[in-house]
Amino acid sequence: MRRKYGRIRKTENVIVFPGTYEKLVEQGLVAVEQSNFDEAVRVFDQAILYEPDYPEFLGPYAVALYETKEFERAKEIAAKLLHSGATDYIDAMELYLTISIQLQEYEEVEMTIDTLIGEGIVPKEMLQKFNYLRELNGRLSNRYSDENLTESVNFFTLEEFNAMDKMQQQYALASIEGQDLSEMIPQLVAIAEQNDVAPLIISFVLALLYQAGYAEELTVRKFGREQTITLPELTLPGRDDLTGDVLAEIEKLLLKDPSRLEMARGLIEKFAITAFPFGWGEYPAHEVAVAYVNYIESLFSGGSLPETELYKLIQQVDSNLDDL
């Protein structure tokens, strides 16, 4: 009995081996899940040659382009997704508008959101998110407008920040990056010391406080751990000696497996950012590197891992990345 491979695809008059397109899409989706956006773009760039309008991967493709700051291409792919009709229109529109804000297309964003809300297209549960997008768009428009160069930034209160979801919190923090944060220091300190803020958000807040030159003590809580820190005394995430040593060890262990090596690097670098200012504890670099090799193997095989604090922490931090 002949095996069914699906329809034959051609690109530039060359027949593509059956399964090639599907494999590329799968590789790209996995890369996005692992926040390996450069790899995702590379793979999706190949997949789109075979299926230029197939919506299966357009959303993750646009996200990967956005994360690698290829905003023009990201908007083009997001527009394809919107016109495909094969996805949630509001989710696709939110992505499209977020990319448009990065391109400083403030007038288009304002008109689009006004139309969507005015015509009742945005569902009630999404109104807060779209209203915040509109406020952020207006705030950035004022900041970069030639007529309003001297206008002060509209900062948010602690209560406003806590009422936002995680995506809105990221937008809010990104909108004040690079500004004079002296007015915002009390709010940022309060956010950094809260128990119910996402770890990656806390890392972003700590980076903003570092930028502002904040030198007082802070008590930070993440992943069941607590530490009192002084930012000027710390090394920025990923630049500490232990992270460098772990990366060096992982290269030795996975030298002959480039795909898993790249995956391990991504996991280690994301850990350094998400867990900051915490690390892997007292474990030596080689033991941490071996743990990542075993963890990656378990992701592919579904096998179990030792129930040590190190493995629990690696799994906890990696799972947390998927929440944002």
Supply the DSSP string of 151-204, one letter for each residue: PPP-PPPHHHHHHS-HHHHHHHHHHHTTS--GGGHHHHHHHHT-SSS-HHHHHH
Q: Is the pLDDT of residue 16 over 50?
A: no
Q: Are residues 6 and 97 in the same domain?
A: yes
Full domain range(s) for residue 169? 155-234
| Greater pLDDT, 119 or 88 | 119
Q: Are residues 19 and 87 in the same domain?
A: yes
Query: Average pLDDT of 27-37?
Result: 85
Q: Does residue 261 belong to any structural domain of this protein? A: yes
- How many domains does the structure of the chain reveal? 3
Q: Which of 199, 234, 269 is the last residue of a domain?
A: 234
* Mean predicted lDDT score pLDDT of the chain: 82
Q: Are residues 230 and 246 in the same domain?
A: no
Q: Is the pLDDT of residue 287 over 90?
A: yes
Q: Are residues 287 and 190 in the same domain?
A: no
Query: Average pLDDT of 266-287?
Result: 90
Q: How many residues does the chain have?
A: 324
Q: Does residue 127 belong to any structural domain of this protein? A: no
Q: Which of 208, 234, 260 is the last residue of a domain?
A: 234
Residues forming beta bridges with residue 226, ordered by sequence position: 221
CA 321 to the chain's CA centroid: 8
Q: Does residue 117 belong to any structural domain of this protein? A: no
Nearest-angstrom CA–CA distance, 147 and 250 = 52
pLDDT above 70 as % of the chain: 86
> Pick from 12, 44, 13: which is nearest to 30 by CA?
44
Query: Average pLDDT of 253-268?
Result: 89
Q: Are residues 230 and 271 in the same domain?
A: no
The CATH code of the domain that includes 265 is 1.10.472.40
Structure tokens at 248: 């060096």
Q: Are residues 211 and 268 in the same domain?
A: no
pLDDT of residue 229: 93
pLDDT of residue 323: 45
Q: Is the pLDDT of residue 53 over 80?
A: no
Q: Which of 234, 259, 283 is the last residue of a domain?
A: 234
Nearest-angstrom CA–CA distance, 296 and 112 = 43
Q: Does residue 312 belong to any structural domain of this protein? A: yes
SS3 324: coil
Q: How confident is the model at residue 156 (pLDDT cuts 50, 70, 90)?
A: confident
**Contact, 36 vs 268, CB < 8 A?**
no
Q: How confident is the model at residue 9 (pLDDT cuts 50, 70, 90)?
A: very low
The CATH code of the domain that includes 78 is 1.25.40.10
Q: Are residues 193 and 271 in the same domain?
A: no
pLDDT of residue 251: 93
pLDDT of residue 143: 63
Q: Does residue 145 belong to any structural domain of this protein? A: no
pLDDT above 90 as % of the chain: 24
Q: Does residue 86 belong to any structural domain of this protein? A: yes
Q: How confident is the model at residue 3 (pLDDT cuts 50, 70, 90)?
A: very low
pLDDT of residue 239: 79
pLDDT of residue 55: 67
